[in-house]
Structure formats: C-alpha cells, structure tokens
Amino acid sequence: MILYDNENLEQQRLKDVTGKTLAALEAGIDDEKLVIALEPEAASIFCQYQEDKRASNERSLLNRTGQKYMIIDLGGGTADITIHERQPKGDDKLPLLKELHHAIGDDCGGTQVDNAFMEVLGEILGQKLITLMKKKQPSSYLELLREFETVKRREITNKNYLRIPLVTINELIEELEQENIDNKIKMSKYKNQIKRNREKLCIDDELMKSFFGPTIERIVSLVKDTSKIKAIRDISLFLLVGGFSECKNVLHALKKALPNKTFIVPEEAGLSVLKGAVIFGHKTSIIGSRFMIYSYGTKVFEPFDPELHEMSRKKKAGGRYICPKIFDFIVMKNDSVPVGTTIKREYLTDEPQQNFMDLDLYKSDSELTKYTNEEGCYRVCEAKIDIPDPSEEQRTVEVEYYFGDTEIRMTAVETDSGKSCKTVWKFI
Ligand SMILES: Nc1ncnc2c1ncn2[C@@H]1O[C@H](COP(=O)(O)OP(=O)(O)OP(=O)(O)O)[C@@H](O)[C@H]1O
Ligand SMILES: [Mg+2]
C-alpha cells in the first residue's frame, strides 16, 4: 500500500501492495516507474542544481554547505513551504538536502485572485449570469478567465484594460432581465472604479489591487508565522518559486513585512517545480530525510494499568481488564525520518485456524495522542492481511512500514514460513 503523504496536508492516496497507484493506473503509467515528487522539494532541488551549474559564481549563497533556506512555492491553489539545509555533495556530485521542519501550507494561491475578480463581476452582472455563461457559453467564460490571466500578469496601472466577451454578456443580460451592461455597471457600487469602452473594461488600480490584497495578506502571514517557528527562526534566506512568485506585488509585500530577510526569486521560478521534479525522478535520494507531518500508528489494547490509563476506559474482556483503543505510535509527528527508513511491528493471531487479520492505520496531528478515538486522530486505512496456511498454532505477522519517502508503504510477512501475506488495503 502507498499513502501519498504530501505537503498539502490533506490529500492522501493509496494503492494496494500488488496493484498500481490510482493515479498511475488512470494515466497508464507503469507503477514501478511512478515517483511522487513534492512540489517545494522539487523546486529546491532545481534551484540547487542551477546554482551548482554556476559554480564560478562566488556570491552564490544557496549552494554553500550548511546553508539553510525556506522554499516558498506559490502556486495556483496553494502556498507550500519547505525548509532545507544544503548538505555536502554526494559521490555522484549531485546536491544533497536535509529537511529541517515538516512542510507547511495554506490554500492561498493565485487562483484566489481570479476568484476575487469573478466575485466582483458576479456582483455587477449578477451571479446568475455568470452561472449561465459557464453553462451556455463555456468558451466565452474561459476567454474571460484567460483574459484576466493576462491582465493579472501585468504591472498594475491607473487604467487596467480587460477584454470581455461583450456580445455574449449582453445577450445573457437581455435573456435574464432586459438590461444592458452599462446600466448594470452604473447601478453597482463599482461604478467609479470600472468603465466600459467598447469590448474592454477599464479597471482602476485600487480595485485591481483589491483582487490581490487578501491572497497576498494570507501569504505574508503564512511566511511570517513560519519564520517565527523556534527551530527555524535563524533562517534568513527565502526562495520564492511557483507561478504566483512571478507576481511582483507578492515579493514587495513579503520584503516589506520581513525586512531583515533575503528574498530571491530564482530564474525560471515558475518552471522550477516541473524541472526539479525531473531531476528528483532520476535521483530520489537527493532529499536525505524528511520530517513527519503527522504521527502514524495502529490501534492496540493493553492490560489495564490505573497508573497509565484513564479509569473511564477500563473494560473487561476475556476475564481480565484491558484498556482498548490505545494509539500505538509507528512514527511521531515532527520526527526527522531518514529516507528509506523501515519500521517493523509484529502482530499475533487471536485464535486457532485464523485465516486473516484486520489492521487499521491511524494518523494524528499530535505527538501526544494516547487513544485512537481522541480528537485529531483519524483512521486512514484498514487492511485485511491473509494468513498463509492457517493452523492451530498462534501465528505472527511482521508488518514493515516504510517511511521518509514521499509515499508511505507497508508489506506483511508471516514470520515462521517467511511467506508474504496477501493484503488488501482500503483507504478511508
Ligand atoms: N507573472 C505572474 N503574475 C501573477 N500571477 C502569475 C504570474 N505567472 C503565473 N501566475 C499565477 O500563478 C498560478 C500558477 O502557478 P503554478 O503553475 O505554480 O501553479 P500549480 O503548481 O499548478 O498550482 P498548485 O501548486 O497550487 O497545485 C496561477 O494562479 C497564475 O495566474
Ligand atoms: Mg505548484
């Protein structure tokens, strides 16, 4: 099974031991050839690679051994942060990187700017019209978005011109309420900020900036909050990558908010994720270790011990007192796990002739979780492990968990025979 434990903090995908990943399957890619790359990591690798190629540049900061830096990947949907330290080069002369803190992110990407614009347009023309345009005239709707994308990439001036699908808009307005676009603008609270001239809207700088404002503010607070984290407070080099890092206003706002830090937007900042992912695909060991975003564990029970367990959890089972639903840590949040680390756990059968075993994997957002039904602890997948050749004896299954990679994998083996167990994993 593979869980994609990515920096987005939410998305996790899985596959079964013998099968293909869902993504690989859908894309028709051989599973063995599919490697998941984390976006800020990929960008970091590319920036290092670029610096190494310019080895003669003595002013270069990034590729000094021991250099610590923050990579801020500003994309369309999210802003993702990773903190790396440059390690001495490996034998193959490729850079090596160590993660210094687990990845951090928020959903404040460039698309939020588009949404802000569409919201204002919806206020002027009516949300109904926007919905109708999407449904009846999708090409006009896409044209409008594309046009805004072009305007968004330009420097903001007093007058920002945006071409609109005027005929379509007027047709839709008439269909809905016998009006026209100019009246709609006049009746809106934006009448002094937006004017129409033929097929173009002229948007003033204040309104234009307001589309960017909330997203930039959220990016700034995310970076500011991250830079206050004790373990990484001393980091002063910040790299901006991803498409939205090309927006000058983001860089200005960050520099203003954090004047003592050095911000660099490397060459090809928008493409660095993509190019870095290709390098990572050739050598995944460039990243030597990663921090766990969550704690992972299984559910076990223990003989009840009043010193250790909450009284309310005391249960009688099989003639003795136990404490059920204990969170048994496999890895702990904030652990730095070297890539390729494997952790073994043994599980015993409960009864003779038992032919399968259920195993649930839980994740928690704390290092202190004690019980699997505590707040912040969730079951992420359930496994059915077949016991080969069931017998009267108690059997032991050894499960090996692989952590530190961009995916979490597990395999199960029956210890006496050494046979691997057929396992079906179900993602929840
Ligand atoms: N010059 C520019 N000025 C402003 N915004 C820009 C510029 N260039 C690209 N963008 C914005 O960057 C975003 C796309 O960035 P990128 O390609 O890194 O996103 P992504 O990787 O697809 O998204 P995510 O990382 O969130 O999954 C879009 O919102 C786009 O409008
Ligand atoms: Mg991205």
Counting Cβ atoms within 10 Å, is residue 154 exposed (0-12), middle (13-18) or buried (19+)? exposed
The pLDDT score that the predictor gives to residue 54 is 74
User: Nearest 5°: phi and psi at 339?
Assistant: -60, 135
Ion ligand 2, residues whose Cβ is below 5 A away: 39, 75
Q: Are 85 and 275 contacting, i.e. CB atoms less than 8 angstroms apart?
A: no
Q: Which two tokens stand for residue 368?
A: 């202190």
Decide the pairing of beta strands 315-317 and 320-331: antiparallel
Distances (CA, A) of 17 to 249, 410, 424: 47, 8, 8
Of 408, 61, 115, the closest CA to residue 263 belongs to: 61
Question: What is the token pair recorded at 101?
Answer: 């803190």
Looking at residue 1, its pLDDT comes to 28
Distance CA 45, CA 125 (A): 46
Distance 79 CA to ligand 2 centre (A): 8
Name the stretches of the chain with pLDDT < 70: 1-23, 55-59, 427
C-beta of 5 in contact with ligand 1 (< 6 A)? no
Tally the C-alpha atoms within 13 A of residue 330's C-alpha that lie toward its C-beta. 27
**Core vs surface per residue 317-337: b (16+ CB within 10 A) or e:** eeeeebbbbbbebbbbbebbb
Which pLDDT score, from 0 to 100, does residue 93 have? 73
Q: What pLDDT does 156 receive?
A: 95
Q: Which amino acid residue places its CA nearest to atom 29 of ligand 1? A: 110
**For residue 74, which of 97, 43, 45 has the smallest C-alpha distance?**
43
Q: What is the pLDDT of residue 423?
A: 82
Mutate to test the pocket of ligand 1, among 247, 248, 250 (most ligand atoms within 8 A of CB): 247
Where do the domains of the chain lie, and which CATH numbers do they carry? 34-109+212-291 (3.30.420.40), 111-211 (no CATH), 295-427 (2.60.34.10)
Burial of 390 (0-12, 13-18, 19+ CB in 10 A): middle
Residue with tokens 């928690």: 364
Q: Which two tokens stand for residue 393?
A: 């004896």
The 10 Å CB-count burial string (b at 16+, else e) for 344-369 is ebebebeeeeeebbebebbbbebeeb
Which amino acid, 352?
Answer: P
Q: How far is the CA of 316 from the centre of ligand 1 (A)?
A: 57
Helix 138-152 / helix 111-125 crossing angle, nearest 10 deg: 120
Q: Is the minimum distance from the CB of 243 to ligand 1 under 6 angstroms? A: yes
> Would the CB of 105 count as within 6 Å of ligand 1?
no
In this structure, the strands spanning 287-291 and 377-386 are: unpaired
The response to whether residue 149 sits with its C-beta less than 6 Å from ligand 1 reads yes
User: Over 216-259, what HEC string results?
Assistant: HHHHHHHHHHHHCCHHHCCCCEEEEECHHHHCHHHHHHHHHHCC
CA-78 nearest atom, ligand 1: 26
Q: For residue 216, give every residue at least 6 positions away whose Cβ sits within 8 Å of its Cβ, in sequence order, or none.
A: 249, 250, 253
Tell me, in angstroms, the distance from the centre of ligand 1 to residue 75's CA. Answer: 4
Cβ of 248 closer than 6 Å to ligand 1, yes or no, is no
